[in-house]
Each structure stands twice: as C-alpha cells, then as structure tokens.
Amino acid sequence: MRFSLRFSVRSFAAFLLYLSLISIQWVNALANTDTITWGGSNDRSGYQNNHNMDSAVVGSAQFGLLFRTKLPGTYPINGQNVPEQIFSQPLVYTGSDGVQYLYIATTQNNLYKIIAKTGIIVASRNIHRPFLVSDLNGCVDINPTVGVTATGVIDPDTDTWYFTSKTYIDQNLNGPTGRPNGRYYIHAVSTVDLSERPNFPVNLEGMVARNNPERSFNGGIHHQRPALLHTGNFIYAGFASHCVQWNFTGWIVGWDKGTGQLVERFATEGAGVGPDIPGAGVWMSGGGLATDGKGSMFFATGNGYASQLDGIPVNGRNPPTSLEEAAVHMAINEDGSLTVVDFFMPWEKTQLDGADKDLGTSPLELLPSQFSCGDIKRMGVVTGKSGKTYWLNLDNLGGYQNGPNKLDNVIQVYQNENSVYAGAGVYPLEGGYIYINVIQYKTHVFKFSCNNGVPYFNKVADSPEKNAYILGVGHGTVTSLNDQPGTGLVWTSDVEGSNLRIYNAIPNNGILQEINSFVTPGTTKFTRPVFGDGIVYQGTTQGYIYAYGAPVNLPLNCTGVQFGTVNLNATTAPMTVQCLANTAVTITGAGLSGNPNFAINSLPNFPITVAQGQQFSFQATFSPQIVGPLSSSVILNTTQQAAGFSINTPVQLKGTGQSQAPLLMITPNTVSWNGVITGQEAGGVNQSVIISNVGNAPLSITKILYSVVGETGPWITPNGTQTVTGVSAFTFYNMPLSVGPNSAITVPINFNPPSSGNYGVYVQVVSNGGTKVFDVLATGSDEPRAVVEFQTPGGGWIRYDNTTAFSFGNVTENTSRYLKMRLTNNGSPNAAALSVTVSKPPFGIPGSIIGASNQVDLAEGTLVYAGQNLTATLFCSVPKSQINVDPYVGTAQWTMNLNDPMFGKQHIQFLCNAVSEQGPPLNPVTQQGIYRYAGCYTENNPGRQLQAAIYSGPLNTNEQCIAQCSAAGYIFAGTQYNQECWCGYNRPKTVNDDANCNFACSGNENEICGGNGITGSGSFISLFGDITRWNGNATDSPGPYVNPGALGFRSLGCYTEGSQSRALNVQVNANNTVTGCLAACQGYLYSGVEYGGQCFCGNSLSAGAVSTAASDCSMTCNNNQTEFCGGPSRLNMYMYGNGSLPTSTATSGTGNQNPPGPTGLAIPSTIGNFSYVSCYTEATAGRALSGYTTVISAWSTVGNVIVEILLVPAVLQQLTADAICHALAIRALYVADRMG
C-alpha cells in the first residue's frame, strides 16, 4: 500500500468470540443511545437525554477509562511516521446486527469501524492521500495533514456514512502537491463494510456558485470544517478557508443523498461580489449546520471584506448578498436549493472585520422549546470571537443596526471577558441554563427567566477553574438521565489540565460542582464529547480514541426513593429502599454522597451476605434545608465472586424543598463588567440580576438601599424613580416592590461610564422574606494600543512596521538562534486589556528554518493588560551543512490581529540568513569561499575520480584541503575517509545525497570529510570546486575535458607535430597526466601531452607544428580519464605565462597548414643519463633482463601510479612497451647507472 497503513479487518473468528461474550438483542438499525450527527441532534444544542448517563454513576469511582484504542495508520512527513489525528468527531451507530460501532475518519483520510464497547477495530480503509499542510503558507491550525476534518453524518435508512475529504488530484504518494492540485470529494460509504456507495465520491473542483457565477470552487484553498447536516433527501456541508487566506468565499454545498447530484452551490459572497474579495467563511469551530426540521437551516459566518453594509440599517428580511459576520436563516426548498430569508449582523460589523473578530467562531444553536417567552417562541444562541454572546429570536434574527441607537435588535447581548470558539452548553430542565466556555476564563452559567413576556438570561455562576490558556476548549455538552430533573451533567472537553471535566448542571452558591474529571493526552481542540450507551468518547491528535464509562452490570438492583415536596426544616417519615441481589454479594458498607438534606438508617451490621435473588433493605429520610429540587446518592459497597460486576451500587434519593413563607433570593450576588471601553458601545452595556421569591407566599420589598462605599453603607439617595434608578455610572431598571410566590423578576442594569475608571455600587434589598445584598462592580477603560517589537541579535528591540521584516541576521549552519517577539499594551493606565483575536504562528511548518517555540505564547485569546507585555520565542535553526555553501534566506510569517482598532490584521514577516563557514581563498568582494561546496560524490566510479593525493593526516579539515589544492592550482578539492585530501581538475561523475557523506573530518569533528554511504558499503568524497574555473553544475557530464592549465601554464588547444621533427624537442618522464607533464616542464615555455600521456617540453615549436581541430586530441590521459592527453601525433599544447600564440621556428612561411598524417613515435637518443641501445625481443625462455621491482612514480604527490622497472646492472627507467615497439613481447631499453 502506498500509505504507511498497516491494518486490516480483524478475523471473523475474533469477532464471533466477542459476540459470544455479550448478550445480543437483534434490533433494527439506529439504537436509542446512538449519536449519528454532531451534538446528537440537528438543533446542535448538544443536550442529550438518551445515553444512560446517571449522575450518581458518573460521579462515582467506578466511572473511568474503559479502553483507549491506538489507530494504526501513520503518514510519512520529513522522515517520520506521524500518528492519526481525529478532528472529525466520532459517530456512534448500531447496525442491523445489533452491535454498536464507532465510526472514525482522520486527517490522514483513513476510516475505521470500531466496536463501541471494546475498542476493537473490525474494519478500516484508506480513501485518499491527504493534503499536506506544507502547502498552506504557514497555516498550521491542523498539522501536518488535512484529510477528513469535518464531522460526517449517518443516514440510518440506508446505512450510509457521509463526509468530505481533502486530497490531491494525483493519488500517487509522490505525485504533485501544491494548492492548485488540491481537491475536495464528497464520500458516501457503507456502514457495514466501508465500501463506497454508487455515484460517489463526487469531485467538487471547479463548481460555479449558483448565486455568483464569478465564484468557482478550488479545493486547495478551501476548508470543510463544519459538521454535515442531513435533512430529508439532502446532505449539506459548509466551507471556509485556511487561516483566512487567498480569495476564498464561504460555501453551502448540498447534494442528493442517493444520486450525489449537487442541488445547491451557494456562495456567501454572492451576487455583485468580485472573485478577488475574500470572506464570509462558514467555519464555526467545527460546529454543525443546524435545522429546525421544518424546512429551515441556520448557521453563522466569519469576517469578510465586501462590507456591503456599513452604517446603514437593513431589515433582516432584506439580506445583503455578502453574508459576512452574520447569523443566517435559509429556507430549504423542495429541490434542495436554499433561499436566504433572514439574517443578523452585529452593529459593529466593520470594526469586527478589522480586528478579525468573527461572529462565526461558534455554531448558531437552536434552543429547545423550553426556552420560549411571550411572543418569542424559538430562540438561538451564538458567541463570537469578540466575546459577545447573542441570544436571537429565530423568527426575527434582527438584521443590521435595527435596534435602539442603531445597535442590535436581538433578545440579549452579553460581553464575555475573552473570545469564544465553542458552542453553548444547553440544559432545558429545571428552569433552563446556558453554559459558555470562554478562553482563559471560567465557564459562565446563565439562568433563563421570563418576566412579563420578556426573556432574559442572567449570569448566575461560573466553573471553579478556568478553561485552557491556549485555544481549544470544546463545545458545551449537557446530558440527563431520560430528562429526569437532578440528573443534568455538563461535560467540558479541554486541551489543558483535566481534558474531560464533568459538573452537575445546577450550580451551587454560584459555582458549578465538578463531580469527575480525566486527563486525555492530546485532546483535539474544539471537540464535543461523543456519547454511546453509558460511554463517552474522546478523540485525540496522538492517534488514540479514549472511552470512559462504568461496568454495566450492577450487583444490586435497588429502587430509588422520591420524597416529593417537603417544607423547609421538616423531616419526612422513613421510606424503605429495597434492593435485589443480581448475584451472590457481600455488602461491606453504605454511605451518603451528596448534600446533607437526606439521612439513612435501619442499616444492618456490615458486612452482610445476600444470596442471588434475595433482598436487602434499609430506610431513608428527607429534611430539606433549602428550596428547590434536591438529590443525593446512597453508595452500597460490595464484593462478589462473579466477574463483570461493579464494586458499588448507587441508589438515588430525591425530594423538593419548599418554603411556606416568602423567601428572598438574589442571583448572582455580584454583577461585574471588566474592561468596558469607554464610549465604544453607544448607550453603554447591560447585565442583570434576578430578584426571586422562592417561597409560597407573596414577597414584599420594604426598601432598597444603595451605597458607593460598601455593603454596610453609608446609604445614599439614588437619582430617578423606582423604574429608572441611577447611581454612579449605573442605571437600574424596574426594581420591584413585590414578587409573587415562586416567581422571579429580572432587573436590567446598564453601565455607561462617563470616563475611564473603577465604579461600584452596593445594593441592599430588605423584604419580609429576608435581607440580601448584591454588588455591582465595573471598570471603564480606554482603548488599548499595541506595540509589537522583535529582539535583535545584540539584545535590543526593534519596533515593527509592516514594510520591513524582522531579521535573525546571519545564523551559521548547525546552530540555532532564539529571539523574542514582544507584544506590549501601550495604552493609558486605564486602557482595556489588549486581546489577541487572530494568531497564526509559524509553528511546525515542514522544511522551514524559522519557527515559533510553541503555540501557547501570544495565542488567540491572550490578554495583555495596560502597561504590561508578553513575549513569544521564535528560532532560526539552520541545518548542518558543509563549509563554503551559498547563503540562503529562510522566511516565515506570523499572522496576527488585535482589538486595537489602529492595528489591523498584520502578516508579520521574519527573515533568517542561513550561512556556513567560509574557507579561503575568499572572494574579496563577497567574502565567500572561491571553492564552493559541490556535493557528495561517488569515488572509485570506476577508479579514482580525483587523482592527486595531497596528504592524509589526523588534522585534516576541508579548509586545509582546499587551501593546499588551491595552492597547487587544482580546480577541485575533496576530502575522504576522515583524513584524506585529494585534488583534481575535473569533477567526479556522480553526485549523491549528502547523507552518504557521513564521516567527520579528523581535524574538526563538526565538518564532514566523505563517507561510506547510507548503507555503509560505498565510497564517497566531499567535493569543493573553484567557481572561477568551474560552472557550478553538479550533474552535467564530468568530462573528459581539456585541462585549462595549471602551475602557470594555460591551454593553447590541440597542435600537430612538426613537419620534420617533434613539435617540442625535449621528452621528459611524467605520470601520464596533464599536471604531471606541466610540473616536469617547469622552466620551459611550452609543454605538451601526446598519445595518452607522453610529455614534451621546449622553448619553441618546430616548423610545421600548428593548431588543429580539438577533436584530433581525443585520447584521455592514462592516469586521469577525465582529461585529454593529445592523440596520435597530436599534442594538447600549453604555454607558460601570457605571451602571444607561438609560431613555427622555420625561416620560410608560416608553417604547414596541412601537416602529414601520423608517422609513428620518434625515439630520442638520450633521456637524462640513459642512452638508447636498440629494440630487443624478450628471451625465448624467461625475461631478457633478470629482475624487476615496482616503485612509486616521481609524481606520486599528483597520483599514486604503479609502474614496472626492469633491472640490468643498473636501474632502467620504464617506458610502456606498446608505446615504443607496438609489440607485446618487445621492450625498449635505456641503460643508465642510476635512476634519472
């Protein structure tokens, strides 16, 4: 398989074994506890009552990790096999076989079918190669691959799983990449065997928007993140961008679930918006498109740049064609097409665009029917990056600037402290609650109220701990046990700390009570816990799927007790709790877990043994101390011999406390605003407090007192009337004089500071149901002012301007430089916190030498308070390389936006000049080494590629070798086997990957001097070339070439011999190379090589020796096959110095322009001290001469050449027999009394 995917369908025998261990009940497809769409329902509220999540069990020690399954798929990135990442939420579905399965799709485009109770993988499939994040210009929100990132949907009518996948047009693993080659496909696969359904997959490339023909779809730049929506015969998907880059538009794409035919191609940048204007992405942090099931679709969009609406109010029923920063209501037509029927856009839309404060960072959720009030029957909630939570009337979303003072015409707006990327948690029972997960802050709890037909959501509590500092806290999720009051649980998935936190849904004294928590390493950001039958699942970015739950078999079957409604401080008669033993069990103890309003008695002396089928009982009483629904659990601890049973059994006790007298309650007890920018919100900002009577008799308020000092006064007289009361910078509306039994009145409070500063009012409410105090605190702030600076290599700071990149300076190979970027809030002392609304650091970008150390520092949601600064560390890390390589510039980009209106979105550029050490000789202008690194070349390919061995020693370095080769006039220098230095005039033939040169230099372990290859069986040389005499090409043919000259000689080209004699009259011994001959001719004006290596010298050319065609000199040198050494009667001629071209010494004419053909070799009468004797045959038996030996040529410093020496009474200098006598048995003998 092309991908590193090593798994298959598990054996059928193993599957049967599993089935034999569980009790199977054959059912129709889709069990009650399944989750086949994001959040469990198409309203996307995340409230789920159907998963057997008992708060008593979840909060017990028995609820824990059931399994974690490693997904076996990997993908090779930069030499490493990276694990699977799960951004698409798992789906839970029970097929016709009665077994519940998990369906998981990953960013590597792998599919898995897993048994939901055991974690066993039973089927898997790869659908495409994944798209690489390295093609996204530093957008690493999902890294390193993008495949399936949106949650799909399962159609139980056809057992079909729908999802989208990002890939490339070429499915070959090594095929072309890049954004133009990116593709998006719609898939429909069988939930039985993961096979593709007919008519699928569907390629979306090039589709044209129905509502804007100028817009076409390119899979490379778009991203499908929102969960898919299935309604009727159609499936819908939303699209946005990767980090708001390129000319994208948001899309809603719909298709027929059977035929795959596209029924909608809607661009959110619609008619009249040009193709180059980006924006209005449908992202919602992975949340789903919503529907009411009655023909309407709802979603939210991000920022954009068409800005059709800018300060001119527009009714919601007249939507613009550019749906930027909008909550959108669309009608789903019979043919699947969509029509925009209503919209909402925040009044400060233009400012939100400038600060990248998307409205659509969370999904638009449709609240259950319990959230209705007066004429507003259907409500929705959405929170954006600005931190504002909007409650909307789904039947009249509000348009643009349709409210008083051209503000928002919505049910309510609440300003959270920071950005929100998570859909709300929703609990419709017990009066109704909403939970908002704020980045870096606590989760806020809002209580729903309805007064005189006016709905309101009052902040009444917070979670005990803050959400993660970095981006990623997940969407709110709430469960109950079959809609039973008192069983509500809030589930929070987070990327730091306890990654799964579970709270009781009803807060206590302003705090959510955590009942359990778990650490799930690598929890994926923006996830929503997924539920099956008593099990909750979490996906990760580390290749695992986690499942938490409790053993399903309880040893005791106990009936819970419902005490009904009881007056405060009264005690009920005892009620009996009856338990039946499901197995033989020993009960070791019993205790209450929960509030002190209940008591148990009539317990036996523990331990007691109860046989299977026998009963055990005890009694309980209820004495409520507070009003409202109350519950507790009796935990029975047990031991038993039978396997598969829990070690404790919870028994629920429930009752409701009531007060016959009036009873005052005020929630919350503190109302606060933090960092409201003075004058930014026309008319100020609102919050509220609930004044409740939780008693059964009317509540009369006798007086309301105000103080600006403290809770005990002194009290002051407010301005205005009882209906509009002004104190300091606050206005209280409709403070009540009475509250009916079991009723509540919401009091809106407006904060509108005249100037920046701290404000506070303390309010005491005195009534016949008690006295309560609540505090109203706020801070008015100036606008923040951002200063971005970058550390210099010298330790100073340079201020950012968008025309100049931040620079790391020169960073040498195999070293790293760490510098900081600093963000300062340079506003006044009263400035609001500077909020990072967009932050895309260059983190984990494959192949980049510049990066951020983490994604935590200066992440989205970071707050910098007035006068303070925060920093992020960046690095430039240059890979190891040879000396004398060309410098190159690494680049990276950090995209950032802030809530400073003067800042705007910035693409902060970083540069790093990667350099290597430079060994002399140096170019005097550039100070770069003249001998550039050419690469790692194969030696002995065949024979030596570089011929001249300069030295071999323990102090070898590349610099030393280059210096010596340069001094000797060679073009190339090479180091090999740690300590060897070689030189030559021609480049070796074959260049290889640098990894094959893997030996450290003997004189500098930080340098590389050749190697034995990746396999350890090769011979490789590290090569450097004189760029003034070499074209720098590492792969063109290495020769043979005409040696350009050395040692002061330069090439004159190819010459003939003289017409009557040798062109040069002195023949000398050399080593059959050009350089050897030039060295032997030192002191002469001319030097020439002939017939593969014969060497001649002279101070003039004989008559008839003239230049001829270069092709005549076609014989390679005997000891260097990469250079030419003349030919038959032809010389490669060299002249010392820069004189004019030579002429013949003949007195007449200019030399024969048509020289005769080859005449054979001329034998000189003497060579040194040797005299020519004659040409002899060898003896008939044995050698003519009695001895021989081998010596190293006199030119061994140029090349190690083995030659044969024939011995007579004196030593003979060897000459090649074939070159002298042209016969194998003949040797030409020169006699001397010693070596010449």
Cα gap 663→767, rounded to integer Å: 9
Token pair listed for 773: 């105090």
Cα gap 855→495, rounded to integer Å: 12
Question: Considering the domain 664-781 in this protein, what is its CATH number?
Answer: 2.60.40.10
Are the C-beta atoms of 1091 and 1219 separated by less than 8 Å?
yes
CA contacts within 13 A on the Cβ side of 510: 11
Token pair listed for 318: 């007249």
- Give the predicted TM-score (pTM) of the model: 0.70
Topology alike, domains 556-658 and 664-781: yes
Domain boundaries defined on the chain: 556-658, 664-781, 786-915, 931-1026, 1049-1162, 1167-1231
Q: Containing H/E element for 45?
A: none
Q: What is the pLDDT of residue 1180?
A: 59
- Residue 16: is its pLDDT beyond 50? no
Q: What is the pLDDT of residue 1197?
A: 29
Phi-psi label, residue 1092: left if phi above 0, alpha if psi -120 to 50, beta otherwise: left
**Residue 883: band (very low, low, confident or very high) from pLDDT cuts 50, 70, 90:** very high
Q: What is the pLDDT of residue 551?
A: 73
- Residue 1236: is its pLDDT beyond 60? no
CB atoms within 10 A of CB 998: 16
Q: pLDDT digits over 358-402, tens only?
A: 898 999 999 999 999 999 999 999 999 888 999 999 999 999 999
Give 480-484 contacts, CB < 8 A, sequence gap 24+. Answer: 480/47, 480/48, 480/49, 480/53, 480/427, 480/429, 480/505, 481/49, 481/52, 481/53, 481/54, 481/55, 482/49, 482/50, 483/49, 483/429
Cα gap 390→357, rounded to integer Å: 14
Mean pLDDT of 87-110: 96
- Residue 958: is its pLDDT beyond 50? yes
Q: Which amino acid would we find at residue 1137?
A: G
Query: Coil, strand or helix: which one is 119?
Result: coil
Q: What is the pLDDT of residue 11?
A: 39
Q: Containing H/E element for 129?
A: none
Nearest to 151 by CA among 85, 221, 93, 224: 224
Give the position of tokens 């015969």: 233
Are the C-beta atoms of 704 and 763 separated by less than 8 Å?
yes
Across 612-621, 951-960, 1068-1077, least confident range: 1068-1077
Q: What is the pLDDT of residue 187?
A: 98
Question: Considering the domain 556-658 in this protein, what is its CATH number?
Answer: 2.60.40.10
Cα gap 589→587, rounded to integer Å: 6
Across 470-484, 1022-1036, 1219-1233, least confident range: 1219-1233
Are the C-beta atoms of 874 and 821 separated by less than 8 Å?
yes
Across 353-367, 385-399, 569-583, 769-783, least confident range: 353-367
Q: Containing H/E element for 1150?
A: none
How long is the chain? Answer: 1236
Which distant-in-sequence residues (6+ apart) come within 8 Å of 530 by Cβ? 35, 89, 90, 91, 92, 536, 537, 538, 539
CA 1139-1142-1145 angle, to 5 degrees, is: 135
- β pairing state of 699-707 and 738-739: antiparallel
Are the C-beta atoms of 122 and 15 separated by less than 8 Å?
yes
Q: What is the mean pLDDT of the chain?
A: 87
Query: Domain 786-915 is of which CATH architecture?
Result: Sandwich (2.60)
Mean pLDDT of 1212-1235: 31
Token pair listed for 686: 């609102």
Distances (CA, A) of 382 to 347, 360, 377: 15, 8, 17
Q: What is the pLDDT of residue 554?
A: 84
Mean pLDDT of 769-786: 93
Are the C-beta atoms of 478 and 493 separated by less than 8 Å?
no
Pick the residue with more confidence: 1015 or 382?
A: 382
Token pair listed for 557: 């079957």
Give bridge partners of residue 891 from the DSSP assignment: 911
Q: Containing H/E element for 558?
A: strand 556-558
CB atoms within 10 A of CB 102: 25
- Residue 1163: is its pLDDT beyond 90? no
Mean pLDDT of 1097-1122: 89
Q: What is the pLDDT of residue 901?
A: 87
Give bridge partners of residue 530 from the DSSP assignment: 537
- Residue 1144: is its pLDDT beyond 70? no
Cα gap 760→769, rounded to integer Å: 26
| CA 712 centroid distance within chain | 55
Q: What is the pLDDT of residue 648?
A: 81
**Residue 736: band (very low, low, confident or very high) from pLDDT cuts 50, 70, 90:** very high
| Burial per residue of 640-671, b for 16 or more beta-carbon CB atoms within 10 angstroms, e otherwise | beeeebbebbbbbbbbbbbbeebbbbbbbeeb
Cα radius of gyration rounded to whole Å, the chain: 43
Q: What is the pLDDT of residue 1176?
A: 64
Phi-psi label, residue 519: left if phi above 0, alpha if psi -120 to 50, beta otherwise: beta
Alpha helix stretches (DSSP H) within 328-387: 349-354
Query: Coil, strand or helix: which one is 1215?
Result: coil
Cα gap 524→499, rounded to integer Å: 10
Q: pLDDT digits over 814-835, tens only?
A: 889 999 999 999 999 989 999 9
Three-state SS across 968-1005?
CCCCEEEEECCCEEEEECCCCCCEECHHHCCCEECCEE
